[in-house]
Amino acid sequence: MSTIYHTRRKKTFEFLKEKGMDAALLTSPSMIYYLTGFRSNPHERFLALLLDARSEEETLFAPMLDAQAASEQGTVDTIIPSGDTENPYEKLKQKLGAAPASLAIEKSNVTVDKAERLQDVAPGARFEDLTPFLEAMRMRKTRDEVERVRLAVETIEKVMNHALTHAVVGMTELDLTAELEYQMKRFGADKPSFDTIVLAGRRSALPHGTPENVAFQENDFLLIDMGVVVQGYCSDITRTFIMGEGTAEQEAIYEAVHAANLRGIEAARAGRTLASVDKAARDEIEARGYGKYFTHRVGHGFGMDIHEYPSVHGDNREPIETGLLFTVEPGIYVPEIGGVRIEDDLYIKEDGTAEVITTFTKHLIRL
Ligand code: MN
Ligand code: MN
């Protein structure tokens, strides 16, 4: 039976032939999942998909303990398992036969250690980077993929709702983080899609801070950035609340970010540049006097991984295309006051308009 995975491998073979490359060896678990349907975390064990353009053979190298699952889910006919006392690189060398002149790999996924082993396996082979091709293919999501993202969004929004009823002054960032991650699993998620971020007060001005044993106080901003994996796909949402009344300036900061988020979403249409989404959000924040406090790009693609192509920043002149899935997440981070970020997930539909998959309210909520 031919599946979406066969189609993706076929496209990869076509690309290899077009570029005159002999073979490709894919090694990141998410790319192997994308190309075969087999999802696993091999830890330090050897997991690789060999696509040999010379023979058109497809071979999945898997740890022995994963071999059964790989043959059931993997859509690849030939699976070569390796036990813990065996050397999988020897098996790879045997399978390759005559050394390929060029080997396409995922350069960002191959450590120096692995690269040296591959040089032994394919002496004299030129390494090419297949990542840009694969990322470009992965960037355009199918409806099926987006429906899985929607499930992941629905799940995380239940957890965000739970946060509203649960967060109180005196609770710590770590307390709430533990509660939210517990609820993720109760609502059916496989796992968080990244380390949950719960930051309060001035600490919310750290865009990538980690939760600590710090208690929420009256008038703190409470920033919650989290996501889950459901059926292999991620969600990513941020909402910011105020514990109590807060100040007029906190409200002004919140409204600036809220307006920037809406401007960014409005700008997200097929045919415009990705840069225009960043610019629309940034202009709004600059007009309100907070430009220097918006210190990161406006968004990023995601899917099976929490960060994928495209990068939505002010210098990305690439066009927005149908099938793209990315976040819009402007923020303002004032060190003495705290930070606000509002993050939504967008899909560019067949008609070129953006569908906002996240539905959680963006009106300021005081807890
Ligand atoms: Mn996020
Ligand atoms: Mn994000």
Q: Is residue 366 packed enough to be buried (19+ CB in 10 Å), middle (13-18) or exposed (0-12)?
A: exposed
Distance 152 CA to ligand 1 centre (A): 13
- How many whole angstroms from 291 Cα to the centroid of ligand 1? 20
For residue 365, report the distance from its CA to the centre of ligand 1, in Å: 19
How far does residue 312's CA lie from ligand 2's centre (Å)?
11
For the cut 80, the answer to whether the pLDDT of residue 145 exceeds it is yes
Quick one: average pLDDT of 228-249?
97
pLDDT at position 363:
98
Report the pLDDT value the prediction gives residue 52, as an integer from 0 to 100: 98
Q: Is the pLDDT of residue 2 over 90?
A: no
CA distances for 57 relative to 38, 94, 339, angstroms:
18, 14, 53
| pLDDT, average across residues 220-237 | 97
Residues with CB under 5 A from ligand 2 (ion): 236, 327
Q: Which ligand is nearest to the CA of 227?
A: 1
- Average pLDDT over the chain reads 96
Where do the structural domains in the chain lie, given as residue ranges? 4-138, 143-356
Residue 237 CA: which ligand is closest? 1
Q: Is the peptide bond before 207 cis (omega within 30 degrees of 0)?
A: no
CATH class of 4-138: alpha beta
Say what percent of the chain tops pLDDT 90. Answer: 97
* Model confidence, pTM: 0.93
pLDDT of 70-126, one tens digit each?
A: 999 999 999 999 999 999 999 999 999 999 999 999 999 999 999 999 999 999 999
Q: Cα of 292 to ligand 1 centre, how many Å?
A: 21
Q: Would you place residue 146 in the very low, low, confident or very high pLDDT band (cuts 50, 70, 90)?
A: very high
Instruction: Give 54 Cα–ligand 1 centroid separation in angstroms.
Output: 42
Classify domain 143-356 at the CATH superfamily level: Creatinase/methionine aminopeptidase superfamily (3.90.230.10)
- 55 and 23 Cβ atoms separated by less than 8 Å: no
What confidence tens digit (pLDDT) does each residue in 241-291 have? 999 999 999 999 999 999 999 999 999 999 999 999 999 999 999 999 999
The alpha carbon of 28 and the centre of ligand 1 are apart by a number of angstroms equal to: 22
Q: What integer pLDDT is reported at residue 94 of this predicted model?
A: 97
